[in-house]
Amino acid sequence: MPSPISDPSARNLVAGPARRASSRETGFAAALARAAALTLLAPVLCQCGGTEVLGDKPTSSCDLADYDVEDGGQQKIEIATFWSSDAESAAFRVLQKAAVARDYVISTTDRRDRDHQQTSLKAWLVNDSDPLPDAFQVNGGSDVLQWVDEEETQLCPLTRLDERYGFSSSFFAATLAPVSCRGTLYGLPVGVHRLNVIFYNEALIAGLRAEAEAQGVTLQRPEELETIDAFIEHLGAIASLEVQSEEGAPIVPLALDAMNTWPLAVLAFENVMAAHGGGLYETVWKGQEAMRAQKGASALGDGEASLRAGLSRVVEDIQALGAYSNFSEAYREAAEPFHVDGGFRWQSALDMVARGLAAYTVMGDWGWAQIGAQGDTVRSMPFPGTAHAFIYTPDSFAVPRRGGSDGSGAHMWLKEVVADVETQIAFAQVKQSIPAVQGLSDEQLTTLGNQRLAESYREFERCQDPKSDCQLLLAVSGLGPSPAADPCFDEVGRLVARVAGLVSEEDREAQEEGALRECPLPFPVEPDAAGRELVERLVRESREPFAADCRD
Backbone angles phi, psi at 276, to 5 degrees: -80, -20
Each residue's pLDDT tens digit, 157-202: 999 999 999 999 999 999 999 999 999 999 999 999 999 999 999 9
Quick one: residue 533, left, alpha or beta (phi over 0 = left, psi -120 to 50 = alpha)? alpha
- Dist CA 434 CA 478 (whole Å): 18
pLDDT digit string (tens) for the chain, length 552 residues: 443 323 322 222 223 333 333 333 333 333 333 333 323 223 333 333 333 443 345 788 999 999 876 654 567 888 888 887 767 888 999 999 999 888 787 777 767 666 766 777 776 655 555 678 899 899 999 999 988 876 667 899 999 999 999 999 999 999 999 999 999 999 999 999 999 999 999 999 999 999 999 999 999 999 999 999 999 999 999 999 999 888 778 899 999 887 788 999 999 999 999 999 999 999 999 999 888 877 665 555 668 899 999 999 999 999 999 999 865 554 555 556 666 555 667 888 898 899 898 999 999 999 999 887 677 999 999 999 999 999 999 999 999 988 888 999 999 999 999 999 999 999 999 999 999 999 999 999 999 988 999 999 999 999 999 999 999 999 999 999 998 889 999 999 999 999 998 876 666 666 555 567 889 999 998 999 999 999 999 999 999 999 998 987
How distant, in Å, are the alpha carbons of 193, 273, 315, 383, 390 from that of 368?
11, 23, 28, 15, 17
How distant, in Å, are the alpha carbons of 64, 226, 305, 317, 318 from that of 276?
45, 12, 16, 10, 12
DSSP string, 261-275: SHHHHHIIIIIIIHH
Q: Where are the domains of the chain?
A: 8-192+393-437, 197-251+339-385, 259-324+486-552
Residue 378: its H or E element? strand 378-382
Closest CA to 132 of 488, 340, 398: 398
Which residues are CB-contacts of 167 (< 8 A; sequence separation ≥ 6)? 158, 161, 176, 185, 188, 419
- Dist CA 115 CA 134 (whole Å): 19
Which residues are CB-contacts of 462 (< 8 A; sequence separation ≥ 6)? 468, 470
Each residue's pLDDT tens digit, 404-413: 889 999 999 9
What pLDDT, on a 0 to 100 scale, did the predictor assign at position 58?
Answer: 73
| Fold of domain 8-192+393-437 | D-Maltodextrin-Binding Protein; domain 2 (3.40.190)
What is the total residue count of the chain? 552
